[in-house]
Each structure stands twice: as C-alpha cells, then as structure tokens.
Chains A and B, each alone.
Chain A
C-alpha cells in the first residue's frame, strides 16, 4: 500500500512521443482507471509504472522511493495482463507460488498465502490444474490470485477483461471492485472501455494523444467534461455535437443551430457563457438529456423527424437529424414512435455543453 506519483513522465520512441509529460498523484488505496482510445499512451504509462518500459524523462515514485532505475521485480508491484500471461507448463498452485519463491519466502508461508488467496477468489479446486484446462474467467481469477498473494504496494491491470465475453466481463468487473474493497490497495487499471472506467474507478484519467485530458471522479467527468474529447468519450451512447452560434436575443442568450432553430440558454448559465456571444461554438448535449417529456423550465422543444428507432427495453433510442447532423435521443420506451414520423423532443438545456470549436475546450471552464 503506497502513494504513486508520476512527475512529468515522458516516453518517446525515436522522434515519436507516446507519452508527453504526465503529472498525476494517486493516493494510497485509490482505484484509478486510465481510459482512452488505442494509441493514447495509457498502456505505455502503465508499463512504465511496472518498469517494463524505460522512462525517457520524469520521475515515478512509489511510496517514498523513486523507482526509475528499479527493475520490475524490485518495485513491489503486481500486474494482471490482458492475456493473463499464466505460465502454461505450471499448475495453478505453481503459477501463484512462483513469485513468492523468487522472494525466498518460506514454504509454510507460501502455502498459507496460496490457501488464503484461493479462498478469496474461489479457485481452491483449480489449484492442481494447468492454465490450459481453465476457462477464460478462471484464468482471470488465477491471474488475480497471482497478484494478490504478493501483498504488493500497487496493483496494475492492463485491460484484464478485454478477452472475456460480455456477460463474464460484467461479472469480473464487479468481482475486481469487490476484491479492491476487501483488500484495499493502490490500483491502476487500464482500459479502453469507458463503462469499465466509470463503474470501477474512484478517479478516472482520460488520456488522448499522450497527454491527460482530464482527471476526476466518474460523475465529474460525466457532468463537467473539460473538453469535447472527454465529453464524447465518456457516456454511452456518445454525446451529440452540433456546430452553432451563440447569440443574444430577447431576455437572454440563444444557441442558434445550423438549421436556423434557436435554443434558449437557461438563466443560470447566462453569466457563464455571456462573454462568448457572437462566437461560433460546438453545442453538445447527451442523448439522455433529450426527451419526449412535457416541456419544463430550461427545456427547449424542437420538432424531430425520426429516422430510426432502437428499443432497448428500459429505454428507447431514436435517431433524427437537425440540419445535416444526425442526433441520438434516449426517450421513454412507452412513447414508441414510428420511423419517418415527426415528434416533439425537448432538450434539457440545463445539461447543455458548449465547446470552443478550434481548441475543443469547454467554454464553461473559462
């Protein structure tokens, strides 16, 4: 158990900078998830923490120790790999005990720890099998067993669930979270799946192009994204974006869309956006902020011609167009609209976002 600090960490391969100066402090026992599209540098960052990649510049501190020059085996970390990386010629028991043997721990202690880990992960009856005889979920458990027996300072997970089928993934997700509650340990978890990030993390780190876009608790990222990238990446289905112009009209501000329709900015937000009047902006609104319910204060109604309807059960997704932009809305399943029909949809403008179209930064951030 320890704090983990990344200070201006850079990784370059020749002239290509995969990670371009990352600063991050991870608290003791915190569960932090790195998320981002492939090639954003999240896995490289994890591998640098593990010591599997050299650091081009900067400093990594685990506990009170700078670990830049320490080998992976000396950093007191444990890692769960995407493909589990279980030793195929060893039994589950040998797989789990291998790292303890390297640390010259006594046989009795190794035995004791294996039993405890096996109980925690329900793999007691698998101990004498080979990895080849296990299912994906079981291998995943064994890989976690191998990590927890060490009582490491930091747990590292490199997309551990991406090889599992959808149902098992959800199950293992909750198990990993439960395990973290049971054995609180500083954890860094890398995934490209924003749902995993949202559900598991104390704090989510969104990376893009080798830099950190935003760090924060899942709810903060969802409600107050600092950039269009974060807004588009977090949340499923993704946020709708439309080019628009911010104009002043009547008593307040209006967001004027490409097709000419205007949506009033709620009074509470006027002060925030006032200084951007006259500018071209990117208007963002989440599908779940568009509904077919009656208009309420702060809601703006438009007439939408429905292209496509996707009933999901608890909700129904409808696709429609404003100008030449396709939008998605998440509506009450009871309303059951027909494709090609027209229906009124209201935008909950209290949950609107405006971004600078050139920098992508949120205008709410000042």
Chain B
C-alpha cells in the first residue's frame, strides 16, 4: 500500500518548522495537564520526609511504599473506602443505564402526547444546582430511612446523572436508522428483542459514555457523600482524602494524601483509556448522519 508520509522530513522547511512548533506546543500543554497527576504519583512513592523536602524534586532516590501502608491506618483503612466507592459507582452505573436506556429509546423512537414537554422538563432539571436542594434531599432520604445508607447515596447520584444520560441515549438511539427497526419488526422481532438485539448493540457507544460519566461523577463526588453519610465505615474515597489531610491536630500528611489521590485516580484513568474509543463515538453520535 502506498500511504502518503507525513513525517516532517518530507515537508518543505516552512511547514517543517510549523510542525515542530506544533509538536513543541502540544508537548508543553500535555506536560501542563499531566504534571499534577505525575507529581501526585511521584510524591506518593517517596518517604514522608522527602515529600516536603526543599528544594522540591520530582523523583527521589529513596523509594518507598510507606505512604500506602500509612493509608491503611486512616479511619477504617483505605480498602474499606475503596470498597464503598466501588459499590456506589457500580450501583450508580447499573441504575443509570437501566433507566436511561429505555427512557432514551422511548424519547427517540416513539411519539406520544406531551413528549417534547416531558423531555424539556427532564433536561431542565440539569439547570438546578445540586447544592441548592441539599436540604430537601436530606429530608427525603431521612423519611425514606435511606440517610447514612450507600443505596440512598446511589439514588441521589442516579437522580443527578439521569438528565444527561437520557439525553445521551436519546441521541444514540436517534442515530439508528428507523428502517432497522422496521426490518426487525417485519422479521417478527418483539419490542424487547428489537431493543436487546438490534438497538442496544448499535447504541453501545452511547451506553459506554453514559456508564463512564456515571462512574466518574459518583466516584469523585464529595459534597453529597460528606453530607448524607455519617458513619465512618460508609465513607467513600474522596472523604477519606479529607481525613488523611486533617489527620491529627490538622497536620497534613502529604505523602499519604498523595497515595490516596493516586489510589482514587487510577481506576478513572484506566476506565477512561479503556472506553475512550466508544466514548468519543458516543458523544458525537447523531451529530452527522
């Protein structure tokens, strides 16, 4: 195959310089954005004394897992919080997908009275700042006896995740040609079979996007978790991080904090890289037919 080469050497001088400048600027930006992550990771692997050393060094010769070991002594131990976070994130993903897929399918492929109005109302809830309704939410959860309960927190997260997710799924299903549904109907498939065997596999990038946002938002959420959970054994990773930093008499254990940050970050990065391909397709679905 004769693939045109876009290496810098094949280009005239002016364009070559432009290309070099472009790469240099890109690298600069990449460093700018990656630095905090790398810094946290590097610091988490230093002995406590080194973490606060002046002048600051990115990497130190002394390598140690000491910070991670100290994380175990924070509250109930980091794995308990990680477990809680996983449970909540998983619950949020499952519930969000379970509700937003049929809802998006309904909005995309059926016509019913009040459709536009209902959709606008669902979307409008995105405009309400979450902080402004903390008190009523707290009261509702209390009445439902779901306060200080992981499932209660999942319900809160799902509620705030749904408008965006329904919007995503509607776009994803909208992008599937109507003729496919008609072909499946003629083939004798039931509504359920059409959704499961035809629509869902095609709209999978949309589902991946919805799942990833549900994960990231519930995994990183701090305020609601802090307010609705009161039992230390039910805390999530972001709350644990605060506990690390406030330690004893408010002295911040920087090393352990960075270890905590790293533990919190890793699943997000892995998931993002895994789903990246689907996620980009999902976001742009329906933009161009």
Chain A residues near B (Cβ < 8 Å): 50-52, 71-74, 77-79, 81-83, 85-89, 98-99, 102-103, 146
Contacts and interface: CB of A to CB of B under 8 A. Distances in A.
Q: How many interface residues does chain B have, given as a range? A: 10 to 19
Nearest to A50: B186
B195 interface: no
Nearest to B197: A98
B188 A102 contact: yes
B198 A87 contact: yes
Nearest to B186: A72
A99 B188 contact: yes
B180 A98 contact: no
B182 A52 contact: yes
Contacts of B186: 50-52, 72-73, 77-79, 99
A77 to B, nearest CB: 7
Given A87-B198, A99-B186, 6 more contacts: A78-B186, A85-B182, A87-B183, A98-B189, A99-B188, A102-B187
Contacts of B270: none
Contacts of B184: 87, 98
A73 B189 contact: yes
B185 interface: yes
A99 B188 CA distance: 6
Contact of A89 (B179, B185, B202): B202
Nearest to A81: B179
B202 A73 contact: no
A79 B181 CA distance: 12
A293 B183 CA distance: 54
Contacts of B202: 87-89
A83 B188 contact: no
B193 interface: yes
A86 B183 CA distance: 8
A99 B177 contact: no
A83 B183 CA distance: 11
Interface in B22-69: none
B185 A72 contact: yes
A81 B185 CA distance: 13
27 contacts: A50-B182, A51-B185, A51-B186, A71-B185, A73-B186, A74-B188, A77-B186, A79-B186, A81-B182, A81-B183, A82-B179, A83-B177, A83-B179, A85-B180, A85-B183, A86-B183, A87-B180, A87-B184, A87-B198, A89-B201, A98-B184, A98-B187, A98-B197, A99-B186, A102-B193, A146-B183, A146-B187
Interface in B196-220: 197-198, 201-202
Interface in B144-180: 177, 179-180
A73 B179 contact: no
B286 to A, nearest CB: 15
Which of B183, B201, B202 has most A Cβ within 10 Å? B183
B177 A85 contact: yes
Interface of B: 177, 179-180, 182-189, 193, 197-198, 201-202
A72 B183 CA distance: 9
A71 B193 CA distance: 15
Q: Which 5 A-B pairs have the closest CB atoms?
A: A73-B188, A99-B187, A85-B179, A102-B188, A85-B183
B154 to A, nearest CB: 31
Contacts of A86: 183
A51 B202 CA distance: 24
A73 B193 CA distance: 12
Contacts of B188: 73-74, 99, 102-103
A74 to B, nearest CB: 7
B193 A79 contact: no
Contacts of A89: 201-202
A98 B188 CA distance: 9
B201 to A, nearest CB: 4
Nearest to A156: B186
Contacts of B187: 73, 98-99, 102, 146
A273 B244 CA distance: 105
A216 B182 CA distance: 30
A288 B283 CA distance: 57
A102 B189 contact: yes
Contacts of B185: 51-52, 71-73
Given A85-B177, A87-B198, A79 B183 contact: yes
Contacts of A103: 188
A71 B182 CA distance: 11
Contacts of A81: 179, 182-183
A13 to B, nearest CB: 12
A334 to B, nearest CB: 49
A270 to B, nearest CB: 54
A103 B177 CA distance: 24
Nearest to B202: A89
A175 to B, nearest CB: 21
Nearest to A77: B186
A51 B184 CA distance: 12
Contacts of B201: 89
A72 B182 CA distance: 8
A117 to B, nearest CB: 14
A82 B197 CA distance: 22
A96 to B, nearest CB: 10
B282 to A, nearest CB: 15
Contacts of B177: 83, 85
Contacts of B182: 50, 52, 72, 79, 81, 85
A53 to B, nearest CB: 10
Contacts of B180: 85, 87
A77 B202 CA distance: 25
B185 to A, nearest CB: 5
